[in-house]
Structures are given as structure tokens and as C-alpha cells.
Structure 1
Amino acid sequence: MSTTSTQPDRVGGKGGPDEPTVRELVERATHTYIARIQPRYLKDESTAVSELARLRRGAGKRAHEVQDLWGIGALENLSELLEGRTDFDRRKDAEEAVFLASTLWALHQQSRRDQNTHTRGKDLGGAVRALIRLKEPERADEEESTLRKRLVRVGTAESFQSVAVRLREIVMLLRTVPEPLPLDYARLAGQLYRWQDRSARAGVQREWGREFHLAARKKASAAEKGDAIDPTLGADDDGTYAGYAAGE
């Protein structure tokens, strides 16, 4: 896992303004893969059903831990996008992000044949806020919810393994409600890639917390468009990230 960032998050040798960042390629690889297999799963195609069953075995784990998933389509997409681009040193971080997001999506999609669980613009904080309203409708203070505390545990994790396990717990909860609570797994993959760079981690923590707080001001019937949060944002003046402190 990278702890410092000594190079710009761009690939290739030119580094021009129109060149995609690695984060953008991580998101593209994840979305392209899921967008290809998700409709096939909804149609109950046997190959797609089998692939999701394989993917679910990797949910919450690291890419190298499940040999049966080496070379999954999402990682092949990423490899193609990064082909010939060597001006960065975080290929492993990119692979881990794509792998985790893809396997979590497979877990979320399990047995859901009437809805897409990957939808662009549906962020993690907003999904947790919606989950609170569905599972704890009588709660007046959503800030004190145990479900919110689960999101805080993701934000304050110190290892990628902890992030993986805690995100898996949230996805499992998203599956327990009949109402669709999709996530933008491409966006999540990009956040997971950035999280592994300690110099960018505060921005991701801030982003997850901001998503949760912004969701409180959105009307329940409004279509969420996703929130463009500045990834360079650091901690608040009190040393917290949208209200919670860093650390295990």
C-alpha cells in the first residue's frame, strides 16, 4: 500500500491536461465491466450468474487472496487501459480498488433480478443515509444511528483490509431491504484507489462524510446526481473529517 504520493495521478509520459488520471481509468474499468455483466445477470444468463457467484467469493478480500478470480474481466479492462503507461508506481493499488469494488457489487447484486445495484451517481454516504431511514424510521436523530457508526468505521479504518471488511458489512445491510439502494461502484473504486495514497486519504474520508451529510438535505424523491467533492480537502479545523476522527 502506498503511503506517499511523489508523482501526479496521471499515466503516460506527457502528462497533458487531457490525459486521464489513473483514478479515472480505475472508474472506467470498473464501470465498463459491471455495465457489461449486470444486464446479463438480470436476464438470468447462466454465464453471468456463474460469474457473479465466483466474484462474491472475493468480496471483502484482497485481489491476490482468491486465485480463482485472478484475471477477472474488470482487471483485464484495467490492464488494457494502462497498457504501455508506466509513468506511475501504483498499479497494485489500482488493481485492489477495481477488484474490491467489483466483488462488492457482485455481493450486492446477488438474487436481485429486478434491479441494478450499480447505478452512476449513487454514493456511499447517501446509501447509508437512505438505509437508516428504511431500517430505523422511528429514529429522530439519524446522526446517532448505529448504521452511521458503520460508515464512520469505514472512514476511520487504518488498513485497506479493514476498509474491505467494513464495506462488505455495509453492502450486506444494503441487501436486507426490499427497496433498491444502489451504489455507484465505479465512483467507489476511484475513492478506494485514492484512499490507498495516505496523502489523499483525508480527502476520501471527508468525501464519505460529506456525502452522508449532503444526503440529509436532499428530498427523498429527488434523483441523486452525485456530489463532486474536492479530493484535496483535508481535515476540519477540529481535526475531524466531516465530524469523525481518523484512526481505528
Structure 2
Amino acid sequence: MTDTLEPAARKRPKQPRKPEALGEHVASVVDDLQRRYLRQESAAIATLAQLRQAVNAEPGTAGLAAVWLPDALIERELRYDRAEPPRATPSERALHTAVTLFAIHQQSQREQRMHTPGTTFAVACQWLAAVRGNDETVHRRFAAVGTAATYAELVYHVRNLVTQLRAAKIGFDYGVFADDLCLFQQGRALNSGLTGADHVRALWGREYWRASAGPTRPAATDPDTADPSTTQE
């Protein structure tokens, strides 16, 4: 599949997707962690290390405030099974996945922001392919994301791409990403007639193939780490 957009259409600015309630919470969490990590605060460094270790754990088992949802979001969708302890909700699972993957993404990046609002996961992957010279390896891995049959399989393939994005210093919007992860877990048909998983697959596919083929991407520097002589109060 190829991008048939005319060059002028490719350059036309598009309104970036905005995070919803869950995404706004995730964006707030990772933005705070990111800022403190880039300032080399020991507490933030330790928190990200704990989050990386918790990437395969169940939501809520890491014992970290960063992986808990605010009460308003929990009350909206929490459900209980009489025969079992409370199960993780789609929002809780999406939050846990997004925050722990961010911890992997930001690891050792002391000057670059890996949470970059306005850039979706799929667009970041297209940029990764572009800077590698249209790397077929990236295309195959992204295709594997698109064919993931389960949430666990999706996360496995996304994690592989996140490590490559880290090496290329390419970030993406973890707020919008969390919303997509939550939607992927919704089995019911949407207004479009698609399940949540099919909707996310279609959305990411469009964003990936319509993204600019060039390697240009927004700068990922943090103003808190900029040279004080070049910043204004």
C-alpha cells in the first residue's frame, strides 16, 4: 500500500488528535515524570526504574502511585465479579501499559522528551521507518501490531517498536496512546460498526501510511533542560 496524497496535501497541517479523560490523566502522569527525570531528580529516576520492572505485571501490583487511576475514572467503569477479586478495567490496563512503556522509552534519554504531545504512535513509527531509509523491519513490526489478535500480543509488538523509537530518539503522545489502548479492549461494536480493536487498527494504519515519508519531526527537547542563557522568564 502506498501513499497517494499529492505533495501539497502532505504538507497541509492537520489537527492533531487530542487525549480524552483517560489520556489527559496519563499525559499528566508521564509529563510530570518526564520533567523530573530530565532534571535528574533521584525520585523520578527510581520511579521509572520500578515502572520498567513492572511492565509485565498486572495493573495495580507495582505499588506505585503512578499506575493508579483517579477515583472519577475508576467509578465510571469498575466492575466486580462475585466469585473473584476485582478485575482490572480497560482504563486501568491501558494506564499501566502506557506508563510502563513510557518508562522503557525514556530510559537513558536525559535530554530528549519521549512523551511528545501531538504525535501519535503510528506517525512516530512511520518516522522511524523514514530515518532508517524506509526500513522493511519497521514495516513488518508495525504490520504485526495491526494483526495482533489479543491485547497481550498487541503490547508485545508495541514494546518492540518502543525500544527502536528510543534508539532513534523519536517520541509520541502517551495520552492519545492510552486512549487507543483502552479502546482496543472494547469488544462491542462502535458507531462505525467496528469493534474497538478493529477501529484502532484502522486508525493506526491510516496514520502510518499517510504520515510524511520524510524524517523531519518536532524537536524533543525539554525547556527545563535548556541553556539558562537562552531562556526567558
- Structure 2-normalised TM-score? 0.72
Distance 1:213 1:203 in 2: 16
Q: Which one of the candidate residues 29, 32, 36 is aligned to 1:36? A: 32
- Corresponding position of 2:93: 96
- Corresponding position of 1:157: 148
Q: Which one of the candidate residues 162, 178, 182 is aligned to 1:189? A: 178
Is the alpha carbon distance of 1:157 and 1:107 closer, same or farther for their aligned partners in structure 2, counting shifts above 3 Å? same
Counterparts of residues 55-204 of structure 1 (less than 5 Å): 55-59=51-55, 61-64=56-59, 67=61, 69-75=62-68, 78-82=69-73, 84-85=75-76, 92-135=89-132, 137=133, 139=134, 145-177=136-168, 180-198=169-187, 199-204=195-200
Indicate whether 1:206 and 2:199 are aligned.
Answer: no
Is the alpha carbon distance of 1:53 and 1:132 closer, same or farther for their aligned partners in structure 2, counting shifts above 3 Å? same
The Cα shift of 1:163 comes to: 1.0
> Which amino acid letter does the alignment assign opposite residue 43 of structure 2?
T
Q: Is the contact between residue 30 and residue 186 of structure 1 (CA under 8 Å) also seen in structure 2?
A: yes
Q: Which moved more, 1:187-196 or 1:167-176?
A: 167-176
Distance 1:110 1:162 in 2: 23
Q: Which moved more, 1:187-196 or 1:88-97?
A: 88-97
Is the alpha carbon distance of 1:83 and 1:204 closer, same or farther for their aligned partners in structure 2, counting shifts above 3 Å? closer
The Cα shift of 1:70 comes to: 3.4
| Uncovered stretches (5+) of structure 1, i.e. residues with no partner | 1-22, 225-248
Secondary structure of 1:112's counterpart equals coil
**Alpha-carbon RMSD:** 2.5
The Cα shift of 1:87 comes to: 8.6
The Cα shift of 1:57 comes to: 1.2
Q: Is the contact between residue 26 and residue 190 of structure 1 (CA under 8 Å) also seen in structure 2?
A: yes
Q: Is the contact between residue 106 and residue 113 of structure 2 (CA under 8 Å) also seen in structure 1?
A: yes
Identity of aligned residues (%): 29
The Cα shift of 1:84 comes to: 4.7
- Structure 1-normalised TM-score? 0.68
Secondary structure of 1:82's counterpart equals helix
